[in-house]
Amino acid sequence: MKRAKPKKQFSHTWVFESFGADPTFFQKRMFGGLAAYCRDRLVMVLVENPGEQDYRGKCYGFDIWDGILLPTEKNHHASLMKEFPDLKPHPVLGKWLYLPAAAEDFETTARTLAESIAQDDPRLGVYPAITGA
């Protein structure tokens, strides 16, 4: 009998605290990370795979799957990157912004983004496509 692989534990789940009490909040696994949903929107995905700098044969020179993915629309990128200078478009998921865990102000920026989600900042989060039916 094959033994079940233990589920990965994430060290940055504290970032969900600001909006985790919302009755619509839930989390689930996605892209090898941990996705957070609030008010029917996908608002954050924690990814914690330090050392992964390659994707489909291309090396990006920095860890691309170690930090926080922020689902958002491209028309919000400029204002969010101005307000949060550590954010950048994710090199693989270009529609989303990325806060690398290696960012100098990672914890402060992550907490402030989470507070913005708690306050229902319309720039943060996307409505997932409905599948099935």
Predicted confidence (pLDDT) at residue 104 exceeds the cutoff of 90: yes
Mean pLDDT score, 72-86 = 98
The tens digit of pLDDT for each residue in 27-44 reads: 999 989 999 999 999 999
24 pLDDT tier (thresholds 50, 70, 90): very high
Q: DSSP code of 49?
A: -
Looking at residue 57, what is its pLDDT?
A: 95
Between CA 43 and CA 45 the distance in angstroms is 7
Instruction: Name the region of 124 (left: φ>0; alpha: ψ -120 to 50; beta: rest).
Output: beta
Predicted confidence (pLDDT) at residue 133 exceeds the cutoff of 70: no
114 pLDDT tier (thresholds 50, 70, 90): very high
Q: From 122, 14, 9, select the one nearest 71 (Cα to Cα).
A: 122
